[in-house]
Structure formats: C-alpha cells, structure tokens
Structure 1
C-alpha cells in the first residue's frame, strides 16, 4: 500500500485529470463542485492511501494507526436472507478497509443445521482466526445470533441489537425512514395510508411498524392494525396474497407504504391487477434497497446500506483500539427521494377504479 510520502495531492490530481486546487477543495469539504466529483476525489484518495492531516489527527484520537504495519482479516457472516444486503454492505466495508490494507471476506452460515452442531461448525469454519466479525441482518435461524454474540473477537452487529446484548451495532435508520415516508404522504394530503410489511422476521421489521404507528399518531390519524398487512406471510404463498388483495380492496387507501424490499413489486403488481393507477389514484412509497429497472422510479427513503458498511468498518477499528470502552449503537440516517409513484390524493380516490372494474365485469 502507498505511504503518505508516496501519495500527494498532485498524485490524486494526475490520477483523475484534475487540478491540485480542485482536489484540495474536495478533501476539505469546500463548495464549488458537484457531489459526484467530490465523491470520486475522496474515493481515489482513500484508494491510494492518502490522508489529510485532519483525518490523521482524528484516527490518532481514536488510537487507530492510519498506516498500520499489520494487515487484518475480517469476516462478514450471513445467511441466505442477508444476500439482498450483502453487496452494498460489503462494498462499504471494502471501501473503508482498502485504505488501511485490511481485507473482508464473506462467510455463509448453514441454515439447515441443528443447534448442537453450531459450535463445531464455527470451529471448523476457521471463524476463530478472524480479527473481527461483522454480523449481517436477517440471520436465520435466529439461534445463530446467540453463538455469534458469544464469540471472543470484536463483533459489529449490522442490525438493531436485542435488549441486554453487549455488542456494538451499526444500522441504517428505518425508524426515521418510516417517519419520513408518513410525514411526506401526509404533507400531500393523504390520511388513508396503508402499511404493508412483515413484522415477524426480524427486529428492524417491527421497528418500521412501530414508527408507522407513531408517525400516524403524531399526524392525528388513528391506526387499526386489522386494516394493514403486517401478519405472517405463510412463505409468501397464495393465501397471503389473497388476504393482502382483500385488505387493499376493503380499506381503499389513497397511499400505501411497502416497508419490505421484496414486497414492493408485489404491491405494485396488485395495484395493476386492481386497475389502480399509480400515482393518480393511489400513491406508493417503497423501502427498496436499490431502485430496480423493472419498477417505476419509486418515491422511497434512501436506505444507507453501503454507508452502514463503511461506518461499521470504522467502528470495528475503533473497537480493536478501545476494547474496554462502552458499547455503542449507531443509526445511519438517509435522505428521502421523491419519485414518480406519489402525488396528491385524487378527489374521487379509487372510486373510478372500482367503477372501471365493475363496468368490465358487467
């Protein structure tokens, strides 16, 4: 890895075809350039191993060597339910660790394993030889967590921590994201807002629902849980889909918040089936991990998944340098993106869609 003496502002400028002044402005956070250019400069500086004096002072305050002589190996452990997150989390971890010369590897936990075999699997996997462990969200079966929490190495949980567990955690703030979604829809004039999202599978899911109820209460809107799709999904089968469709028809919302990434496309498809025009007759907000090409440009909270990985890497280095300090829980707040799936509620709501369906059946 390059040392401080080998990498200068001119090195970065030559790499990007920019002036030294532009590079300096970007690294000092001064205005006068696009955020894309600033990000490209900062990422190149990290890749080349360049640190400003302010960054070096900050690292030294945390007892982290900016140019470590020892290269460390970390693991991101996950199960199949974590896969939708792992690319973004891994990207954030790699981006941060690269500038220190450390490496991060993926380790997939088996799901079809008896609890009594878990300790021996951990031993055989070589997990004990890692310098630190990152625990991905959505670990299934949940009993895995108790064994991972008991590991002697420094551990960072990339999820909301259960009560009483002594572990550092870093997670994107879905509570704030849900609050943003409700507040935005209410600002447009929506009050019949339906929530669709499994609240059973993991701790972050129940927090979304709690935030929805809290935000609706703040806006003076009563929430009847029976009007929302928050129950068990029955493996995503036909029964759940039929119940969801019936709830949508019975409630006739002017807006729907889809709180789980893999349920967004399902709700969009049901709206199409019911001939509900988006956003003219019903507005949709989706908690997408990323915008996909098969969906319209969604109004959505920007979940800071990559940023969570980046910050978690910092927290791991801090924990290694400060093993006796209290555990910390960090939530990363993101912005809210206004897409093409939301608008003010129509005067006649979904009545026109209901009439279209009735006329077709007639």
Structure 2
C-alpha cells in the first residue's frame, strides 16, 4: 500500500509538470478543441492518454492533431521510418519495474516515459517487485501482477534483490533495460551515460590543475557503481595519474565507511574528490565540513548527483539526462515492438558537465 501511495504522489507531480509545459507550436490544444467542438481539457486528456473518454473520441483527437500539424512532419516521418504507427488503434499498457532503492531518479524517468507515451495515447505504470526472491515467490508475483500480458516492460536500475533482474529479463515480453546491460543479455538498453560523466569529472579536475584526485563511491551493490569506478581509473590512466585502490573509498560501503573515509582524507590529503553515488554526496560534503576542509578552497568536489539538492551549494556535477533517457526509452520500446527480429541495441545518453561552486583551480603542490 505504501508503494502505491508513493507512486500516486510521483504521478501526480508528473501530471502537474507536464500540464504546465507550454506547447511551442502554431497549432495549440485550443485550436484542436475548436475544430472538434470539444473542451481543451478533453483534448488534453486524449493526447496525454488519460482515461475518461471513448477510444473513438481519443482517436479522433489524435488524428485531428496530425491533420492540423500539431505533430510536426519531421516527427511523423521519423516514426514511420522506424515502422512505428504515430496514432495506434489501441492503447497499450507498459510497466516500469522499480524498487525503492532507485526512488531518487524514478520521478525523472517517469516524466520522460509519460511525456513520450502520452503523445501516442499509451499508459505507463509502476510496479514494485516484492523483496522475497525465491523462485516460487517470483513466479507467483509475476502471475498475480499480469506482467506477461503487458505490452512492454521497462526494467530500471537498482532492482533489488538482484535475483529479480534475470527473472524479469527472461519474460517473453518486449523489454527495455534502463541500466548498463550485463554481458550476454538479450535485451535493448537505454541509460544515462555515467561512464562518460565520470570521465568528464576527472578530465575537468585535471584541466584545473588537480592530480591527487580521490574517488568515493560504493562499488559493490550495483553494476553501474562498479562501472563508475572503472571509468575513473580509465580517466586517471589517460592523464597518466597513478591509481592506488587503497587510497580511494571503494568496495562495499558498510555503516563505518564515513569514518574510514575520514582516515583516508587525513592520510592521503587529496586536493579533489569525485563522489560517484548520488546518495553519498551529502554525507561526504558534511564530513569534509566537520573536518574543517573548506570546499572548494581546501578541497574541490564533484558529485554525480541525479539533481541539485536544495541543502547543498551549487555543485559541479554532470547533468545526468535521466528524464531524456526515459523519453528515449519509450521510443526504443515502440521501435522494438515494430521490429521484433532486429538485433538488440544499447543506447547511452550523454550529458554535459555543469561547473558550480564546489571546484576551484588547484593551488596546492
């Protein structure tokens, strides 16, 4: 019940965000409404895939939108080139499978998925697999939830327990993995490129004179966590900077990891930190403040944050295109449904590095 309440709160937020977005086109919702003698609210609901009308009315609205040019010719041409029907005859049901470990970026993913599917009249819902991951428990839940009858599944990162991911990827339903795929996985994937983001962070720190750069981040719990550390090592090697694993805060972060980090900061005296895990950035920042380390005067810091937290100063951070990845994943799902026999594809969405107030040129030797 708590999961459903949490999801309702997210979808309410998404609906408010999307409804407030201006339509930058000469043809507006009001134009379509006047053409059909409907209210603007009805037209909006039809194009966003919301319930409360017949499918005949919904199809009339979307077809009128196409005829009037609400969707650009470029959009239609692109969809048809991928064999995607711009205005399908039936509303499809897609499911985003997620666990609470990823709730920090779920809202952004849902925004992207919802916005894209709304244009086609499709719906996206969230399901949260139970924490019990025995074979029987997983089979029972999959049967009760009707996953095998969904039109497509999105499997998000951080699915826990880990036994769930291979189980979900084996279902005979079109799937998009919103994560870096495991080796040998037969599935399409779309993910915001944390490997590139980590590389960008190191490259920027090196460009402003830092050579003693410490990586901080759990590398144990998720595939993406380990890939960030690998990207850090790759970047450091590229700039001919030595990487001694014992000088970094990696491995499994247990309850005592911040105390261990304190000792490493005192021992190795880095001039900069790359903090690779969103949920760890605030704790590292507070620890540095408690130690009397001024950021960025004494220590520069880059955080791989999902979003800028209100509780922290403007961070130097990669702008992770999480929302854009959701939007792109929706396109990839429709492409996969239309092209079931083509090879699997893995798409990484690259963002930019934003320079905030937590980094400065290195003045220490």
TM-score by length of 2: 0.82
Residue 323 (structure 1) aligned with residue 340 (structure 2): yes
2:100 pairs with 66, 80, 87, which one?
A: 80
**Structure 1 consecutive aligned stretches of length 4 or more whose deviation exceeds 6 Å:** none
Q: Which residue of 1 aligns with 2:127?
A: 107
Deviation, 1:72, is 0.4
Provide structure 1 residue ranges, at least 5 long, that are not aligned to the other structure.
1-6, 16-44, 349-362
Cα distance, 1:225 vs. partner? 0.3
Q: 1:10, CA displacement in angstroms? A: 3.5
Match of 2:109 in 1: 89
Q: CA RMSD in A?
A: 1.8
Task: Note the C-alpha offset of 1:69.
Answer: 1.3
Q: Which whole-Å deviations, capped at 9, do the CAs of 1:251-303 have from their partners, x for residues lacking one?
A: 11100000000110011011101100010110000011000110010000011
- Choose 60-69 or 315-324, whichever is displaced more: 60-69
Q: Distance between the aligned counterparts of 1:299 and 1:173, measured in 2?
A: 17
Deviations 1:121-180 (A, max 9, x none): 110111122100000100111110111011111000000110111000000001110110
Unaligned runs of 5+ in 2: 1-22, 32-61
**Alignment map for 1:1-362 (pairs within 5 Å):** 9-12=25-28, 50-234=70-254, 237=255, 239-347=256-364
Q: Is the 8 A contact 1:74 1:104 kept in 2?
A: yes
Kindly tell me: are residues 13 and 102 of structure 1, through their superposed partners in 2, closer, same or farther at Cα, counting changes over 3 Å? closer
Any idea what SS the aligned residue of 1:294 has?
Answer: coil
Instruction: Give the length in aligned residue pairs.
Output: 308
> Partners of 2:74 and 2:258 in 1: how far apart?
54
* TM-score, structure 1 as length reference: 0.82
**Contact 2:258–2:284 (8 Å) recurs in 1:** no
| Alpha-carbon displacement from aligned partner over 1:53-73 (angstroms, at most 9, x marks no partner) | 121111111111111111101
Number of the residue aligned with 1:4: none
Conserved in 1, the CA contact under 8 Å of 2:308 and 2:315?
yes
